[in-house]
Amino acid sequence: MGCGVSKSNQFHKSSGKAIRSAILIQRWYRQYVARTEMRRRYTWHIFQSIEYSGEQAQIKLYNFLGYLMDNFTPASNERNLISHIFRENEVCRDAEWERYFCYKNIEVPEIYSGPHLTFPLTVEQAVGLVEAFRNKKQLHSRYVLQLLLETWKQLRMLPNINRISTCHSKEITICGDLHGQLDDLLLIFYKNDMPSLEKPYVFNGDFVDRGKDSIEILLILFSFLLVYPSEVHLNRGNHEDHIINLRYGFTKEVLTKYKMHGKRILKLLQKIFSWLPLATVIDQKVLVLHGGISDTTDLGVLARVDRHNYVSALRPPKKRHQSSASLSVDSDIDEDIWSPNKMFLRRKSLTFLKTVPRDSFQNRSLQDFSDRIQVNPADELCQRRPSVFNLGNAAPEKEMAASVSSESLSVIDEWKQILDLLWSDPMNQDGCVPNEVRGGGCYWGPDVTEDFLNRHNLQLLIRSHECKQEGYEFCHNRKVLTLFSASNYYDVGSNRGAYVKLGPDLVPYLFQYQASSMIRELTVRQSVGRTERSALKVLREQMFAHKTDLICAFKTFDSDNTGLVCLSDWASAVESVMHLDLPWRMLRYQLVPCKTNGGMIDYHEWFDELAIKGPNADHIDQSLLETLYRHRSTFETIFRIVDADNSGFITIEDFRQTWMLLSVYLKMEITDDTISDLVVTIDRNQDGSIDIDEFMEAFRLTDKKSRLERGRSMFMGTATDLTKLEGDPNI
C-alpha cells in the first residue's frame, strides 16, 4: 500500500514538515511516558506506605500487649488471654523437645500421594520435593516434623554469622525476600539451577508471610540446607518471627494446610526461626543481612549474642537471673518477682488504664522498649529515654545484684543490634534516625555505611527488606545493594524480582525476572493501569475506614458547614488523618470522582456511595461497624493470639474479654450490651464459640455500584491496617 514511485521526492519536498511532524509525535510520546512514570511512582508510594504502616500497627499492637502484661496482675484474666505469646519457649532440654515434636507416631496413610522422605536426606529427595510442590502436592506432616527437627539440629551448630568464600571459582547466588511466592523460587531455580556443590546460595530472609506457599518455600530451603550444609546459607528476616506471622498470613497458612499438626509445626518453627543465622560474610568483604545496619551495629557483638534467645525480635528476652542457673535458659514471664510496693491493678482498673496518658504505648517504637528492662532507677538507662511506664508505678524491682545492671545494658545492646539488623532501611541523608515508619530499626545514611564498612574492612553490603521496582537497587555510592526476589509483590505487574551472583572478583551480577506469563502480554500502560487501580482500591478502602475522622477533619476547614472544601484543604485534611505522605492533590480525581462545585469538593457525597456490609448489621451502631472495619487486621491478630491452641475458634467468653482489651487499646467505650449484640450476630450456630475467619469475612467493604472483588490477602482479611489512634479526635 502507498508505495508510490515518487515517495522519496515527496518526502524530500516536505522534509521540513516531516521533521516537525516527527517532533510533534516524539514530544507527545515522551509526555505520555512521563505521565505513566508519574502514575507508577505514586502507585508505588501508596502500596509501600500502607505496607509499612501496617508493620507499624503490628508493632504498636505488640507494644500495647506488652504494656498490659507489665501492668496487670499475674492472675488477671486479660493477662492469661495473651500471656502465652510472651512466654518464651518452655521446655529447654533437647531430649524434651524431641519428644514433644515426635513424629514417629504419625501415620502416613496409603492414600497419601505426596513425597515420602527418608533421612538422611538425599539430593534426589530435595529435588523431588521441589517437583512435588511444583505439582501442588503437600508434604505430609510426619515428614514436615521430621524435616524440621533435622533442620533445627543443623541450625544449632551454625554460628551467628556465616563466613563463606568464593573459592574454586564458585559463584555465589544471593536471593532476597521471597514471601511465600513459590513461583519466584521455582523461576530462580529454573534460570539458575538448584543449589549444589557447584552452586552455593544465600537466602536473605523473609521466606514467609503474604504469599500462599510459605511453608513450601521453607521446606525446600531446609531440604537443601540439609543436603548441602556448606553451600546453602539462610539469613533470618524480620518475618521469621511468630508474632509477625500472626498478622501477615503464615500462621493462618500453616493451620489451614495442616489442620491436625499445624500447631506443633508452628511451635517448632518458632524455635527454628530463632536459630537462623543473622548474617553471612563472603570472602570477608561482602556482608549479607536482611534489613540493614545502624550507627551502633557491631559485628563483634552480633557474633557473640545467643541468637536463639530472641524468639521474636519484637520483644527483648527476659532477664536471666544470676541465681537461676538451674532454670532453663528461656524463663517464663510468670516468674517475674513483683515488688510488694507495686500497685496491683485489678480487672476493674481498666478505668485506671484509661487515665494513663495516651502516648504511653501507641507512640512508642521498639527502640523505646529498652526501658522495660530497667532494673534500677539509679541506672543510667533511666536517663537514656524517659520511661512512661514509671508513671505512678515504682519501677519493677527484681531481685538483682547490682552487677546485673551492666548485664542488662548488654542485653539491651544485643537486642538493639538484632533489631537494627532485621528492620533497618537505608536513607539518602547522612545520619541515623529511628525508623518510625516501620516501628523498628533505623534509617541509616551513607556516612554510616562508609564508617561501618571501613571499620569492618568490608566493601559491600547486600540487604533486602524493601520491595524495589526492578528487583534491586544500589544506593550509598553503590556500597549498599537492596535485593528483592518476590516479583509482582504488590500486584501483578508491580515489580520484577532479582537475584545476584558474586564470583571471586566480588562484582555483583544481577539477574531479573518476573513470574507470571500474564505479564508479558500486558503493555506497560496496561500493567501500570492495573496496579494503579489496585492501589487506588486499597487506598479508597483505607479512606473509607477513616470516614469519621476524615469528616471531622474536613469540618475543621468548613466552619460554615457548607459541605464543601477547597482542594488544598481537602489534601491537608486527608493527610492529617491518613499520615501516608502521598500526593493527595494528584490522586484526588481518582479517589473522589464526584463533580466539584466551582473547584470545591463535596466531602459527604463520596462516602454515601460506599457502605460496609456487615452481618445483619442493622442493629449495630454504624460507628462501631466502622471501627471494626478499620481495625479488622488488629482484631484478627488479637483473636489469633487469644486463640492459644490455634484452633481457629475462640469462646464467647474470650471474645467478650478480647473486646474489653480492645476497648482499652482503642480507648473507646463499649458496653456489655453492645458486645452481647455483636456476639449474637456473630455466633450464628449458637454453639458458644466464634469462628475467626467467619467473623473477619463478615466485615467487608462493598461498593453499592459495583462489588469490589477480593483483593490479595495482603489487603483484605489479614489486611494491613492503620491504627491512627494519635489522630483520633474522639478520644
Partner 1 sequence: MAPKKDVKAPAKDVKAPAKKAEPAPAPAPEPAPLPVVPAIDLSAVKVEFSPDQIDDYREAFGLFDRVGDNKVAYNQVADIMRALGQNPTNKEVNRLLGMPSADDMTAKRVEFEGFLPMLQTIINSPNKAGYDDYVEGLRVFDKEGNGTVMGAELRIVLSTLGEKMSADEIDALMAGQEDENGCVNYETFVKHIMSV
The single residue among 9, 12, 22, 621 that binds partner 1, judged by CB under 8 A, is 22
Measured CA to CA, the distance from residue 487 to residue 238 in angstroms comes to: 19
User: What are the distances in angstroms from CA 519 to CA 134, 438, 495, 526?
Assistant: 20, 30, 10, 10
**CB of 1 or CB of 157, closer to partner 1:** 1
Give whichever of 176 and 317 is closer to partner 1, judged by the CB atom.
Answer: 176
Q: Residue 726 interacts with partner 1 (CB under 8 A)?
A: no
d(CA 184, CA 496) in angstroms, rounded, equals 10
Nearer to partner 1, 390 or 572 (CB): 572
CB 512 within 8 A of CB 496: yes
In order, the DSSP letters of 450-489 are HHHHHHTT--EEEE-SS--TTSEEEETTTTEEEEB--TT-
Instruction: Name the minimum Å distance from CB 235 to partner 1.
Output: 22
Complex with partner 1: residue 160 or 435, whichever CB lies closer: 435
Spatial CA neighbour of 530 closest among 498, 488, 497: 488
Query: With respect to partner 1, which residue has the nearer C-beta, 166 or 367?
Result: 367
Give 249 or 291: the residue with its C-beta nearer to partner 1: 291
Contact of 184 with 497, CB cutoff 8 Å: yes
116 binds partner 1 (CB under 8 A): no
Amino acid identity for residue 6 in this structure: S
State which residue, 4 or 340, has the beta carbon closest to partner 1.
4
Q: Which of these ranges, 98-106, 348-356, 450-458, 521-529, lies near partner 1 under the rule CB under 8 A?
A: 521-529
- State the cell numbers at 370: 529498652
- Piece in contact with partner 1 (CB under 8 A), picked from 248-256, 517-525, 619-627, 667-675: 517-525
Q: How big is the site for partner 1, counted in residues (CB under 8 A)?
A: 55
Q: Of 179, 239, 290, 476, which residue is the catalytic one?
A: 239
When binding is defined by CB under 8 A, the residue of 12, 23, 533, 597 that contacts partner 1 is 23
Q: What's the closest the beta carbon of residue 33 comes to partner 1, in angstroms?
A: 8
Position 518 contacts partner 1 (CB under 8 A) = no
Minimum Å distance from CB 551 to partner 1? Answer: 23
Q: Which is nearer to partner 1, 429 or 616 (CB)?
A: 429
Using CB under 8 A, pick the residue from 9, 19, 102, 731 that binds partner 1: 19
- Taking CB under 8 A as the rule, does residue 567 contact partner 1? yes
Percent of the chain that is helix, strand, coil (3-state, to 5): 50, 10, 40
CB of 469 to partner 1, least distance (A): 10
Residue identified by cell 475506614 is: 545
Instruction: Determine the interface stretch with partner 1 among 25-33, 68-76, 354-362, 619-627 (rule: CB under 8 A).
Output: 25-33
Q: CA 422 to CA 237: how far, in whole Å?
A: 6
Q: Which of 256, 324, 410, 429 binds partner 1 (CB under 8 A)?
A: 429
Half-sphere exposure of 338 (CA within 13 A, CB side): 16
Phi-psi region of 516 (alpha: psi -120 to 50; beta: other; left: phi over 0): left
Residue 4 in contact with partner 1, rule: CB under 8 A:
yes
CA distance 127 to 144: 16
CA 540 to CA 479: how far, in whole Å?
A: 38
Nearest-CA neighbor of 480 among 454, 460, 459? 460
16 in contact with partner 1 (CB under 8 A): yes
Applying CB under 8 A, which of residues 171, 295, 436, 451 lies at the interface with partner 1? Answer: 436
- Binding status of residue 2 toward partner 1 by CB under 8 A: yes
Using CA atoms, how far apart are residues 284 and 305, in angstroms rounded to an integer? Answer: 20
Asked if 253 is part of the footprint of partner 1 (rule: CB under 8 A), the reply reads no
- Taking the C-alpha atoms of residue 443 and residue 427, their distance in angstroms, rounded to an integer, is 6
Half-sphere exposure of 722 (CA within 13 A, CB side): 27
Shortest spacing between CB 536 and partner 1, in angstroms = 16
Is residue 525 involved in binding partner 1 (CB under 8 A)? yes
Q: Which stretch binds partner 1 (CB under 8 A): 2-10, 641-649, 655-663, 694-702?
A: 2-10
Q: Quick one: which segment of 3-11, 180-188, 640-648, 711-719 binds partner 1 (CB under 8 A)?
A: 3-11
* Residues in 571-600 that interact with partner 1 by CB under 8 A: 571, 581, 583-586
Nearest to 534 by CA among 718, 715, 707, 699: 715
- Strand pairing report for 600-602 and 564-566: antiparallel
**Residue 29 interacting with partner 1 (CB under 8 A):** yes
Least distance in angstroms from the C-beta of 272 to partner 1: 31
DSSP string covering 326-379:
TS-SS--GGGPPPPTTSPPP-GGGHHHHHHS-GGGTTT--GGGGGGGG---TTS
Least Å distance, CB 48 to partner 1, is: 8
As measured in angstroms, the least distance from the Cβ of 56 to partner 1 is: 12
C-beta of 31 vs 556, nearer to partner 1 = 31
27 or 710: CB nearest partner 1? 27
Please confirm, yes or no, whether 116 is among the known catalytic residues.
no
**Amino acid at position 252, single letter:** K
Stretch that binds partner 1, among 227-235, 400-408, 422-430, 695-703 (CB under 8 A): 422-430
154 three-class SS? helix
Could you say which of 209, 425, 636, 691 contacts partner 1 (CB under 8 A)?
A: 425
Stretch that binds partner 1, among 21-29, 454-462, 616-624, 642-650 (CB under 8 A): 21-29
In the block, residue with C-alpha cell 524493601: 466
C-alpha cell at 114: 505426596
The reply on whether position 523 binds partner 1 by CB under 8 A is: yes
User: Least CB distance from residue 54 to partner 1, whole Å?
Assistant: 15
Using CB under 8 A as the binding rule, whether residue 17 contacts partner 1 is answered as yes
Q: Which of residues 438-477 bind partner 1 (CB under 8 A)?
A: 443
On the CB side of 404, how many CA atoms lie within 13 Å of its CA?
16
**Residues contacting residue 595 through CB under 8 Å, at least 6 positions apart:** 602
Stretch that binds partner 1, among 137-145, 147-155, 520-528, 708-716 (CB under 8 A): 520-528
Q: For residues 406 and 403, what is the distance between their CA atoms, to the nearest angstrom?
A: 6
Nearer residue to partner 1 within complex by CB, 429 or 676? 429
Binder of partner 1 out of 12, 33, 322, 589 (CB under 8 A): 33
Could you say whether residue 680 binds partner 1 (CB under 8 A)?
A: no
Taking Cα atoms as reference points, which of 241, 234, 224, 238 lies closest to residue 288? 234
Binding region for partner 1 (CB under 8 A) out of 38-46, 115-123, 557-565, 641-649: 38-46
CA angle 298, 301, 305 (to 5 degrees): 140
- In this structure, the dihedral spanned by the alpha carbons of residues 55, 472, 134 and 230, taken in order and rounded to 10 degrees, is -100
CB 693 within 8 A of CB 648: yes
- Note whether 30 binds partner 1 by CB under 8 A: yes
End-to-end CA distance of the chain: 74
Task: Determine if 41 is a binding residue for partner 1 (CB under 8 A).
Answer: yes
Cα separation, 729 vs 727, in Å, equals 6
Give the Cα separation of 43 and 528 in Å (integer).
8
Q: What is the sign of the dihedral through the CA atoms of 343, 345, 351 and 354?
A: positive
Footprint (CB under 8 A) of partner 1, residues 314-343: none
List contacts with partner 1 (CB under 8 A): 1-4, 7, 10, 14, 16-38, 41-42, 45, 48, 425-429, 431, 433, 436-437, 443, 523-525, 567-568, 571, 581, 583-586
Residues identified as active-site: 239
